Amino acid sequence: MTAFIVRRLTATLPVLLVVAVFVFLMLRLTPGDPAAILAGDAASAEQIERIRASLGLDRSILAQFGIWFGNLLAGDLGESFYFKMKVTELIGQRLEPTLALATLTIAIAVLVAVPLGVVAAWRFGGWFDRALMGFSVLGFSVPVFVLAYILIYVVSLKLGWLPVQGYHRLADGFWPFLAHLILPAITLSVIYIALIARVTRASVLEALGEDYIRTARAKGLSELRVVVRHALANAAVPIATVIGIGVALLIGGVVVTESVYAIPGLGRLTVDAVLARDFPTIQGVILFFSFAYVLINLIVDLSYVFFDPRIRY
Amino acid sequence: MDVPSRESVAPAAVRPQVGAWERLRASWSVRLGGGVLAVLVLVALAAPWLGTVDPTLFDAASRDLRPMETGEITTLDGDVLQHKFWMGSDSFGRDIYSRVVYGTRVSLLVGTASALVALAFGILFGLCAGYLRRLDGPFMRVMDGLMAIPPILLAIALVAIWRASLGTVVVAIAIPEIPRVARLVRSLVLTIREEPYVEAAVALGTPTPKIMFGHILPNTIAPLLVQGTYICAAAILVEAILSFLGVGLPPDIPTWGNIMAEGRVQFIAYPHNVFFPGVFLAVTVLAVNMLGDGLRDTLDPRMARRL
């Protein structure tokens, strides 16, 4: 197991390196002076000179990458001229809302999608199955911000059940915290539910066609036990995989959802940074999200052991 | 990182067989999706003749009209027209209906162009990685790295750097999709390259580019058509998201995302500014996705069974 984790970790290093190179090149291949771009529109000549010197912009591109990558490894993502603080600090400040939103979304999505997918596979071709497949195409097609406004309109404005916008820190009380997160999490979970339900249905369907299911039924096991203990348990690996892949969708959705619901998280930070053309922050957020995505998929890979005892690392 | 995804589940090299056209026409999701899409294309082409006014015209006297109200609108020549605002007006007094109808053009154009750009580069990289084995390792490592960056985030960052125009938005949306196409093409090439007719072509001394583009590429068309449709749907969504967040096409261009971005400020008082473009957007993406599902089910049955 340890050997596998080490091997798996080393296999992700090239991926992370490519991400870093890409984020580095994004700015260098842009027409214009990188120092001036990084310093922002309102910077003075000395500020630009200082950045030029600290990034080694007068040296070769390889040396520049060396300096930049060294800083990255040391946990230094540069300084945001717009927010006037270190990018790492900025990300730390905005982490809580995004983490809370993502966790709640994943929880809702898995709890809703897996049972839906299982029932659809169990009643393959029936009305429930067809309704779910219809819903999943719809879920992929309705833009997250359109859905957000429909929910705000119905649940918050017409029914008055939940607050319209905003965020309450967990430290300020659990209920206000949760009340502000429910609608955003439901909004964000729809596309995720569509994705997970589809894959759950497909993989449970495949498992239900296996010989051991016929055996299980033949020895008189209850249908519930057959479907859950035998079919679902054997379909767990693809489901775990798609939950990991779906995180990319989730991150994209977070950017939009946080903007609509005025949640001061990393997604909102991304949009603010782009609007202010605050490149140190943009680079930092992209690196952070990509690394988080890779890490989550690594954890998913390791979780296969728990879902499928045949897999030994 | 080994990330299997919707498209990397290696489908068999399926060719459109005899009768593929008949089967396509029999599929109700192709008919419904294709039909709605055809109507939208007509709407986009016929935009000036559908009772619209120039979507950039505004009139201070007609601000924030509700749907179906009548107001006036000033043309560029200074004439004042009586105009019925089917979908109301925005806070500048522009006609939402005209803007939504003209927005169809932008969405369909960006969707199609992004899909074509992503397919072109994805095919090139995928063919090279799959057939020229020495390129495979480095190419796919780069593609893996690119795939680790969440697509919308990458598009937003690229647009931020390049400053938004029609061209940069299309390329920024296409780039995150390239690795997904390349992976699909590569997986198809890996099976097709073992086929006897490829071996025969190699034995006959056919030049490598001719084998790649003349013998292998035509056999990847069916899955690529399906994939291209899905990319088109995703691209229309991403363009709307970029505009909505205020980082996409300039606000004077009538796109559905821009109309919604403009309307969100006073969403509580005038929800119609957000709903009408939102409905058009959802219906368009739904139609393209349904067309894609129908194509997949008819052209690519092995992939269809899995999802």
* pLDDT at residue number A186: 93
Question: Average pLDDT, stretch A256-284?
Answer: 88
pLDDT in tens, B128-171: 988 888 888 888 888 888 888 888 889 988 888 887 788 889 99
Q: Is the dihedral of CA B232, B96, A142, B267 positive or negative?
A: positive
> A-contacting residues of B 200-239, CB under 8 Å?
233, 237
* Percent of chain A predicted with pLDDT > 90: 20
Please give the Cα distance from B115 to B229 (Å, whole number): 7
Q: How far off is chain B from A230, nearest CA to CA, in Å? A: 19
* pLDDT at residue number B6: 43
Task: Please list the residues that pair with B73 across neighbouring strands.
Answer: B81
Note whether A140 contacts B233, CB cutoff 8 Å.
yes
Residues of A in contact with B282 (CB under 8 A): 141-143, 146
Question: Average pLDDT, stretch A74-86?
Answer: 82
Q: Is the pLDDT of residue B64 over 80?
A: no
Structure-model confidence comparison of residues A215 and A28, the more confident one: A215
Asked if residue B288 lies in contact with residue B233, where contact means CB atoms within 8 angstroms, the answer is yes
Asked if residue A243 lies in contact with residue A113, where contact means CB atoms within 8 angstroms, the answer is no
| Among chain A residues, CA nearest to B148 | A290
Residues contacting B251, CB < 8 A, separation 6+? B258, B261, B262
* pLDDT at residue number B302: 59
Longest CA–CA span in chain A (Å) reads 82
Give the number of other Cβ atoms within 10 Å of residue B61's Cβ: 12
Categorize the per-residue pLDDT at B9 as very low, low, confident or very high, splitting at 50, 70 and 90.
Answer: very low
Q: The tokens of B203 are what?
A: 């034995």
* pLDDT at residue number B74: 72
| B80-85 vs B69-74, strand pairing mode | antiparallel
Categorize the per-residue pLDDT at B293 as very low, low, confident or very high, splitting at 50, 70 and 90.
Answer: confident
Residues of B in contact with A141 (CB under 8 A): 233, 282, 285-286, 289
Q: Is the pLDDT of residue A111 over 90?
A: yes
pLDDT in tens, B227-241: 999 999 999 999 999
Residues contacting A90, CB < 8 A, separation 6+? A80, A83, A269, A281, A284
* pLDDT at residue number B116: 96
pLDDT in tens, A24-58: 888 777 777 777 777 777 777 888 887 777 777 77
Task: Spell out the SS3 assignment of chain A.
Answer: CHHHHHHHHHHHHHHHHHHHHHHHHHHHCCCCCHHHHHHCCCCCHHHHHHHHHHHCCCCCHHHHHHHHHHHHHCCCCCEECCCCEEHHHHHHHHHHHHHHHHHHHHHHHHHHHHHHHHHHHHCCCCHHHHHHHHHHHHHHHCCHHHHHHHHHHHHHHHCCCCCCCCCCCHHHCHHHHHHHHHHHHHHHHHHHHHHHHHHHHHHHHHHHCCHHHHHHHHCCCCHHHHHHHHHHHHCHHHHHHHHHHHHHHHHHHHHHHHHHCCCCCHHHHHHHHHHCCCHHHHHHHHHHHHHHHHHHHHHHHHHHHHHCCCCCC
Task: Spell out the SS3 assignment of A219-284.
Answer: CCCCHHHHHHHHHHHHCHHHHHHHHHHHHHHHHHHHHHHHHHCCCCCHHHHHHHHHHCCCHHHHHH
Task: Please list the residues that pair with B96 across neighbouring strands.
Answer: none
Which run of H or of E encompasses B151? helix B151-162
* pLDDT at residue number B5: 44
Q: Which range has the top average pLDDT, A106-115, A152-161, B292-301?
A: A106-115
Task: Please list the residues that pair with B80 across neighbouring strands.
Answer: B74
Residues of B in contact with A149 (CB under 8 A): 264, 267, 271, 274-275, 278
Residues of A in contact with B245 (CB under 8 A): 255-256, 259, 271, 274
Residue B89 DSSP class: B
**ipTM (interface predicted TM):** 0.84
Q: Which among A15, A145, A199 has the least Cβ separation from residue B144?
A: A15
CA distances from A52 to A42, A86, A243, B233 (A): 16, 17, 42, 42
pLDDT in tens, A172-186: 888 888 888 889 999
* pLDDT at residue number B18: 53
Q: The tokens of A231 are what?
A: 């079919």
pLDDT in tens, A284-294: 999 999 999 98
pLDDT in tens, B273-285: 888 888 889 999 9
pLDDT in tens, A140-172: 888 888 888 888 888 888 887 887 777 878 778
Please give the Cα distance from A282 to B113 (Å, whole number): 26
| A79-80 vs B69-74, strand pairing mode | unpaired
* Percent of chain B predicted with pLDDT > 70: 83
Question: Average pLDDT, stretch B77-82?
Answer: 71
Residues of A in contact with B274 (CB under 8 A): 146, 149
* pLDDT at residue number A104: 94
* pLDDT at residue number B301: 60
B37 to chain A, any CB pair closer than 8 A? The answer is no
Q: The tokens of B11 are what?
A: 């489908």
* pLDDT at residue number B272: 78
* pLDDT at residue number B305: 47
Q: Find, among B229, B253, B232, the residue nearest to B243 by Cα.
A: B253
Question: Average pLDDT, stretch A70-77?
Answer: 84
Q: Report the residue of B161, B162, B289 to disrupt the A interface, i.e. the one with the largest count of A CBs within 10 Å.
A: B161
B300 to chain A, any CB pair closer than 8 A? The answer is no
Please give the Cα distance from B67 to B78 (Å, whole number): 24
Task: Please list the residues that pair with B89 across neighbouring strands.
Answer: B95
Note whether A270 contacts B290, CB cutoff 8 Å.
no
Residues of B in contact with A18 (CB under 8 A): 141-142, 144-146, 148
Asked if residue A28 lies in contact with residue A64, where contact means CB atoms within 8 angstroms, the answer is yes
* Percent of chain A predicted with pLDDT > 70: 98
Q: Find, among A312, A148, A307, A147, the residue nearest to A242 by Cα.
A: A307
Question: Average pLDDT, stretch A48-74?
Answer: 80
Over chain B, what is the mean pLDDT? Answer: 81
* pLDDT at residue number A313: 57
* pLDDT at residue number B3: 42
Q: The tokens of A14 are what?
A: 């090239």
Give the length of chain A. Answer: 313
Categorize the per-residue pLDDT at B17 as very low, low, confident or very high, splitting at 50, 70 and 90.
Answer: low
* pLDDT at residue number B47: 72
**Phi/psi of residue B82, nearest 5 degrees:** -80, 130
Q: Is the pLDDT of residue B10 over 50?
A: no
Catalogue all structural domains in chain A, each as residue range(s) with its CATH number: 17-73 (no CATH), 93-307 (1.10.3720.10)
Q: How far off is chain A from B282, nearest CA to CA, in Å? A: 5
Please give the Cα distance from A238 to B281 (Å, whole number): 31
Structure-model confidence comparison of residues A212 and A109, the more confident one: A109
* pLDDT at residue number B1: 37
Residue B95 DSSP class: B
R_g of chain A computed on alpha carbons: 23
Residue contacts between A and B (CB atoms, under 8 Å): 151
Give the number of other Cβ atoms within 10 Å of residue A72's Cβ: 18
Note whether B144 contacts A14, CB cutoff 8 Å.
yes
Q: How far off is chain A from B278, nearest CA to CA, in Å? A: 6
Asked if residue A264 lies in contact with residue A97, where contact means CB atoms within 8 angstroms, the answer is yes
